[in-house]
Structure 1
Amino acid sequence: MSELLAVQAEGLTKRYGALTAVDGISMRVAQGEVYGVLGPNGAGKTTFLRMLFGLIRPDAGQLEVFGRTWAEHGTAALDGVAGFIESPRFYPYLSGRRNLQLLAGLDGGSGADRIEEVLEVVDLTGREGDKVAGYSFGMRQRLGVAASLLRDPRLLVLDEPANGLDPAGIRDMRALVKRLAASGLTVLLSSHDMDEVEEICDNVTIMKRGSVAYHGTIADLRRQAPPQAHLLRTNDDTAALALAGRADVSVSAADGQLAVHGQQTAIDAYVADVVGSGLAIRSLTLGEAPLESLFFMLTESAPATTATPAHTDLEEATR
């Protein structure tokens, strides 16, 4: 892997009057990785991507793409970069292929000979002659990726590519990103879906109200995640809670049910004890996935601190 970073942001800040949309964030995206920028709506993800594409300029800080900056290189800073912000737009009365032909022409024509190839990559072969007006939302998203691939980029930037898709569309988009990453392409994507980021990303930056709440690998994030709870409802939760003292589990009452934490064998024994005591179990379900719970802990806690280097500890990130 090259030592030259695909994206390097240092102290990047963007303000709109009294609102600080991006507050001194730092980020390093290595070539060849899939990097996720995660956060709830309003966290500053799209603002960061707009600065990367040069659509808006930062008020402070430095942003380099393959070692180039907008101040020194102008539009050449985006050589080897492609992608889209929010949802891609096309002429609905033209076919998918014709839209790509027009876009290739606007970009100098060099991508015209790649149209059939990129249509196959995004699984639109056979539908390329249909008008875009008849495409599903997921097909239009995939056509947007195809348009980006016409430039044969080294870095592909996608802004919430699975947002608004149905389950089948989400599955197809994730599979597409995985295929692109396997080809050696660097992918930087934003998302508010922890499942999406966990499945396809190598590293992640979690943002909260414009600041960095966490930098690190998905593996490190998993290690910091709390254990998954089992959610229990009985005909007498007070009596069931009292039984916790006889088992090696932690049980707490919340939202009209009991949250049970512990090793699976201990939870099994506790549930058996509840049944053996004569209580009726109304429901037993799994709570939030561990990474989802951690995501909410990081993004719904007290205001974020100043951005810190990669591999921030959970205790520091949630202060």
Structure 2
Amino acid sequence: MSDELAVEATDVTKSFGAVRAVDGISVRVSAGEVYGVLGPNGAGKTTFLRMLFGLIRPDSGVIRVFGRTWAEDGVGVLDGVAGFIESPRFYPYLTGRQNLEGLALLDGGARPGLLEEVLEVVDLRDRADRRVGGYSYGMRQRLGVAASLLRQPRLLVLDEPANGLDPAGIRDMRALVKRLAASGLTVLLSSHHMEEVEEICDNVTIMSRGAVAFHGTIAELRRMAPDPGHLLATGDDDRALALAVAHPRLGLSRDPDGGLLVAGPRDEVSAYVATLVAAGVELRGLTLTRTPLEELFFMLTDASEDELVDVPAPAPAPRRSARSRAAR
């Protein structure tokens, strides 16, 4: 990472009618880092990224991209920037290679050999000549990254890149982002899954209802995280509860769906399990309910995804097509 800021958002606000989608947030992304914007669905992440791309304008505040603003530099803000908002779209009756060739022409052309290089980076070279209509969702997501890389960007913006992917697709997308970050590319990504950003991000902003709930490093988040929780299944829950008196650092309660919820330090949970075994209580299962960082995420956002409503995308602005092409 360097001292240069790839993105600097200061007191940015955006409302849609009575809904405050983004509420005075400030974000600083250093060049060369992987930065995560995390929050439940409807927390304002995509609205923030739309403002960064110039697809909508903030009501107040300023977003600078490598020191440039929309008010001062217009579409020049997107020089060296690429990515996609929500899911990338392609012509399904064309092959992956043909789609990329067409997009490269719209953007002024690509240097010889670059198309093959980006197909290699996203692991689609052997499937580039298949029609996109036959691609899996994960392949289309990776083709979107390939289209973005054709611009040879300094900043890559990815909106929920693993959303809708199966476990194998999520693994592949994480590996791809790690490879891109290792090359020195600045990556700004949004997600509503803590585990998605934990492994790959240097710093993170957690949003809740349009506002910032946390700014900091993953290491700082880990220090804040509560003790892990477990679901304990036994042959005698009443006796297991009675034996917990010898372990005051634990919190135990009955789960409405059966079993016991156990929360506390890992060493104390292990000691409690040893107590149950020594007392002859049958153990049928001990399952981690949420990782500590997942638990902290829900504590910071203080809402389930069902309690939040996504703000619909506004009608396209007159110049959106030109900006969208530049932001590929």
TM-score by length of 2: 0.88
Question: Kindly, what percent of the aligned residue pairs are identical?
Answer: 70
Work out whether 1:56 is the aligned partner of 2:61.
Answer: no
Does residue 28 (structure 1) correspond to residue 28 (structure 2)? The answer is yes
Aligned equivalent of 2:190: 190
- Between 1:274-283 and 1:177-186, the stretch displaced more is 274-283
- Distance change >3 Å, CA 111–CA 170, structure 1 → 2: farther
Aligned to 2:109: 109
Distance change (3 Å), C-alpha of 1:276 and 1:4: closer
SS at 1:54's partner residue?
coil
Q: Which residue of 1 aligns with 2:77?
A: 77
Which structure 2 segments of 5+ residues have no match? 308-328
In 1: Cα distance, 2:118 partner to 2:234 partner: 55
* Cα shift at 1:301: 5.7
Contact map agreement 1:38 1:190 (CA 8 A) in 2: yes
1:271 — aligned with what? 273
- After TM superposition, give the deviation of residue 66 of structure 1 in Å: 0.3
Q: Which residue of 2 aligns with 1:66?
A: 66
> Which structure 1 residue ranges, 5 or more long, are not aligned?
304-319
Deviation at 1:284, TM superposition (A): 1.8
Q: Which stretch of structure 1 is more off in the superposition, 90-99 or 255-264?
A: 255-264
Q: CA deviation at 1:274?
A: 2.4
Q: Structure 1 CA distance, aligned partners of 2:270 and 2:53?
A: 53
Q: Distance in 2 between matches of 1:222 and 1:121?
A: 31
| Counterpart in the other structure of 2:130 | 130
Measured against aligned partners, the alpha-carbon deviations of 1:245-286 in whole angstroms (never above 9, x if no partner) come to: 223541320424323334444333322322343433332222
CA contact (8 A) 2:231 2:288 kept: yes
User: One-letter code of the match for 1:271?
Assistant: V
| Amino acid in the other structure paired with 2:3 | E
Question: What's the CA shift for 1:238?
Answer: 3.0
- Equivalences for 1:219-298 in 2 at 5 Å? 219-247=219-247, 249-255=249-255, 256-298=258-300
1:17 matches 2:17: yes
Classify the secondary structure of the residue corresponding to 1:207. Answer: strand
In the TM superposition, what is the alpha-carbon distance from 1:2 to its structure 2 partner? 3.5
Matches of 2:220 and 2:15 in 1, distance apart? 31
Report the number of matched residues: 303
Task: State the alpha-carbon separation in 2 of the partners of residues 254 and 298 from structure 1.
Answer: 25
Q: Residues of 1 paired with 2:40 and 2:150: CA distance?
A: 31
Residue identity opposite 2:242 in structure 1? A
Deviations 1:44-94 (A, max 9, x none): 000000000000000000100000000000000110000000110011111
User: 1:233, 1:283 within 8 Å by CA — same for their partners in 2?
Assistant: yes
8 Å contact 2:12–2:22 — kept in the other structure? yes
Residues 43 and 111 (structure 1), Cα distance of their counterparts in 2 relative to 1, 3 Å cut? farther
CA offset digits 1:155-182 (Å, max 9, x no partner): 0000000111111111111110000000
Give the Cα separation in 1 of the matches to 2:303 and 2:89. Answer: 36
The residue that corresponds to 1:300 in the other structure is 302
